[in-house]
Amino acid sequence: MPRKLVTNFKVEYLQVLDNSGNADEELMPRLSSEQIKELYELMVLVRVFDDKAYNLQRQGRLGTYLQVKGQEASQIGSAYALDKKDWIFPSYRESGALITRNHPMYMLLLYWSGDSRGLESPEGLNNFPITITVGTQIPQGTGVAWASKILKEKVVTMIYFGEGATSKGDFHEGLNFAGVFQVPAVFICQNNGFAISLPREKQTASETIAQKAIGYGIKGIQVDGNDVFAVYKAAKEAVDKARKGKGPTLIECITYRLGDHSTADDSSKYRPKEEVLEWQKKDPIGRLERYMLKNKLLNDKNKKVITEKSTEKVEKAVEEYEKVAPPQPEDMFKYTYAQMPDKLQEQMKDLKGE
């Protein structure tokens, strides 16, 4: 049966908060004063954690690290829209989303020191481990969302990735499957401008990432990723829609990483200093601060207290991380199979000198 040809495609762009901290009240999401304060506190906590983790790596106390800096609104605003029972599938830059989802900070530091135990999701939290291989979490998260639909659980899966991952086959396969089976998933693309050193315009001819959703028969929306209110509003609407069984959504957050791609990168080789300085003016924390100051939700005194409390929490997490006993070497044999094969048993015995 022939289908109707549709040509009137449109990609919506959402911004609630401008750079000066003025909000469009007609677009403002339903958030209480306490919730706005909580969003701000989370963003400050993540920034303090991020700076500390970077410094620990430079001191040789972490193996490597990928900074969140500049992308706090995209991660916290989206993760804040989820219920505890929902799933997240993070890539390597989602420390902010994981902290919002109550993943212990000391465990994140443990992971970045090279200890996989840091990604064990605590009881009652559906946080999938960080995915290093670009894009593989997209079909995996889609599969979990499909399982939720089959089981009629009313559970939503949120899947994070950068714009570089949209050039991978995993992105096509995941979103195509999600569209066909109308799974309860929300895809969060943090478009920070660069796939390592490759600028967005050199990896896709598509004018936006959000419009790619059209090809899969799902909704796509582009938001100001440095505006925590816009990200939260788009994410909350997408989560509610998915929970009601009305299908997935692709959200493109236009943001910018203020740091290097990783602690092994030097972004000054491919990004002009002037560009970074311009984006620093759009810092998501500063933008929210200006809104809160204007609306008497923040003042210099409690701003200082919030920073101090965040620093205390992070320092405590560092102490806890550095007290964790090293893993046992035989652990490498224990968790690959439900029943350890004879060859691995022999290798473990050799290691232990038995």
Q: Are 285 and 44 in contact (CB under 8 A)?
A: yes
**Contacts for 339-347: CB closer than 8 Å, 24+ residues apart:** none
Q: Is the dihedral of CA 164, 240, 75, 121 positive or negative?
A: negative
Q: Are 40 and 292 in contact (CB under 8 A)?
A: yes
Where do the H-state alpha helices sit in the chain?
Answer: 33-58, 72-79, 95-100, 105-112, 137-150, 169-181, 228-243, 273-280, 284-294, 300-323, 331-334, 342-351
Residue 270's SS3 state is: coil
Q: Alpha carbon 280 to chain centroid distance?
A: 20
Q: Residues 93, 101, 200, 261: which is the catalytic one?
A: 261
Distance in angstroms (rounded) separating the CA atoms of residues 300 and 25: 25
| 261 given a catalytic annotation | yes
Distance in angstroms (rounded) separating the CA atoms of residues 129 and 98: 10
| 172 given a catalytic annotation | no
| Nearest residue to 98 (alpha-carbon basis) of 120, 116, 113, 70 | 120
Tokens representing residue 137 in the block: 């979490």
Q: Alpha carbon 76 to chain centroid distance?
A: 8
Length of the chain: 354
Q: For tokens 């050799």, what's the residue?
A: 350
| 257 given a catalytic annotation | yes
Q: Residues 200, 257, 271, 287: which is the catalytic one?
A: 257
Neighbours of 19 (CB within 10 A): 15
Residues known to be catalytic? 257, 261, 270
